[in-house]
Amino acid sequence: MISEFYKEMTGKTSVIRDFFAYSMERAKVVGAENICNFSLGNPSVPCPDSFTKEMIRLLSEKDPMAIHGYSPSLGLDSTRTKIAESLNRRFGMDYTAKHIFPTTGAAGAIAHAVRCIAGDGDEIITFAPYFPEYIPYITGCGAKLRIVPADIDSFQINFEEFEKMMNEKVAAVIINSPNNPSGIVYTTETIDKLASILNEKQKEYGHEIFLISDEPYREIIFAGADAPFISKHYDNSICCYSFSKSLSIPGERLGYVAVNPKAKDAEMIVPMCGQVSRFTGHNCPPSIIQLAAESVLDETSDLSIYETNKNLLYKALTEIGYECVEPMGTFYMFPKSLIPDANEFCWRAAKELDLILVPGDSFACPGHFRIAYCVQTETVEKAIPRFKKLYDMYK
């Protein structure tokens, strides 16, 4: 009587995981220092000292029953209030605690948000290249995910295809900017055009279309980027955030849903998130992590290494001859594969050069490969001659 659905899923492996597993096996043979591993999006810098100090202060000075006690199902009031204040201060918004729902990372935030605004028979649209875990979040609420093909010249939105795919069933659109895997940032022009289409379609269809903005990389922005705060540009918007990358605490599972105060039913959505949690047995994120994070909301880890790595790698790759849209944020880059089959290309790089990349196919963008340069700068330096060799194998 065990579930055939979940049982069958365990048999399917993820391509990214396959490359990572290969790199681990290979490291046992040649030593980890000889692998240039760009497969995983794990932060490569520590959390801010202030976060560690605040954790130790809470543990040393506070009543253990207070710091480890149940959080209310909608999150700690103090944390919700401080998140709202930080967003208002930084982005000129009008959030209150009522609009903030702490979650277990952006994953938890999106899984909650979609259940609040979509159900059986609804469609949710996103844009390639996109994060493939959207699929379970969305099928989990009964809706269907549809993917707008990428504009591979800019990785901004392919509006022509988007407008063709819009229809009355669309309950929400999910965007991820700064983007995993392309590293691009949607410009103010892109966001305003998207907002204008959504506003028009809302009128035409006579119902809300929510914009779910998946923003775990919001704080990793490079010089010259035009990086608007998305919820400022569209009323029916829900920001899904994670502290995993900004504070380098991915294992502690903290993020939030921030519902635009101007959204329809704005103050209803957070209590609905609380109801969603009851079905998944998730409840709230860990109390001590909520408490520690609320004191460092305007801080980040030292994120400068990501821009250093991007500059080094982008310059080297384009000089070698790779075609690549320049990243404006995140710690990813998404060049064109030198052959149409990016999977074959990445396996050759792995097997012949110990250079671990991942193909773009699982991001719905074949013919490209992702470089996760959240690594030490020495690893980037060591990889550059290998990228040259790889290029020479094909050209």
Least separation in angstroms between CB 34 and a second copy: 21
Give the span between the Cα atoms of 274 and 80, in whole angstroms. Answer: 14
Task: Tell how far CA 382 is from the center of its chain.
Answer: 27
Q: To which H or E segment does residue 128 belong? A: none
Residue closer to a second copy (CB basis): 203 or 395: 203
Among positions 36-75, residues that touch a second copy (CB under 8 A) are 42-47, 52, 55-56, 59-60, 63-65, 67-71
Asked if 167 touches a second copy (CB under 8 A), the answer is no
Residue closer to a second copy (CB basis): 31 or 271: 271
Burial 155-165 (b: 16+ CB within 10 A, else e): bbbbeeebeee
Concatenating the DSSP letter of every residue in 260-275 gives: -TTSTTHHHHHHHHHH
- Of 139, 154, 167, 308, the residue at the interface with a second copy (CB under 8 A) is 139
3 state SS of 344: helix
| Residues 227/329, Cβ–Cβ less than 8 Å | yes
What are the structure tokens assigned to 382, written together? 């060591």
- Sign of torsion, CA 32 33 39 41? positive
Residue closer to a second copy (CB basis): 51 or 345: 51
Among positions 169-188, residues that touch a second copy (CB under 8 A) are 171-172
Asked if 269 touches a second copy (CB under 8 A), the answer is yes
| Residues 15/275, Cβ–Cβ less than 8 Å | no
Asked if 5 touches a second copy (CB under 8 A), the answer is yes
Residue closer to a second copy (CB basis): 71 or 343: 71
Q: Which stretch binds a second copy (CB under 8 A): 21-29, 80-88, 98-106, 335-343?
A: 98-106
- Of 183, 285, 327, 360, the residue at the interface with a second copy (CB under 8 A) is 285
Least separation in angstroms between CB 335 and a second copy: 25
- Of 23, 39, 104, 231, the residue at the interface with a second copy (CB under 8 A) is 104
Least separation in angstroms between CB 324 and a second copy: 27
- Of 93, 128, 185, 209, the residue at the interface with a second copy (CB under 8 A) is 209
- Of 83, 84, 87, 109, the residue at the interface with a second copy (CB under 8 A) is 109
Give the span between the Cα atoms of 339 and 344, in whole angstroms. Answer: 8
Residue closer to a second copy (CB basis): 136 or 321: 136
Concatenating the DSSP letter of every residue in 69-104 gives: SPPPTT--HHHHHHHHHHHHHHH-----GGGEEEES
| Residues 179/333, Cβ–Cβ less than 8 Å | no
Asked if 304 touches a second copy (CB under 8 A), the answer is no
Residue closer to a second copy (CB basis): 28 or 395: 28
What are the structure tokens assigned to 291, written together? 């408490």
Least separation in angstroms between CB 292 and a second copy: 10
- Sign of torsion, CA 208 164 157 13? positive
Q: Which stretch binds a second copy (CB under 8 A): 91-99, 186-194, 265-273, 382-390?
A: 265-273
Give the span between the Cα atoms of 67 and 61, in whole angstroms. Answer: 10
Asked if 140 touches a second copy (CB under 8 A), the answer is yes
Q: Give the interface size with a second copy as a residue count (CB under 8 A).
A: 80
Q: Which stretch binds a second copy (CB under 8 A): 29-37, 226-234, 277-285, 339-347?
A: 277-285
Give the span between the Cα atoms of 26 and 290, in whole angstroms. Answer: 39
DSSP at 124: E
Asked if 18 touches a second copy (CB under 8 A), the answer is no
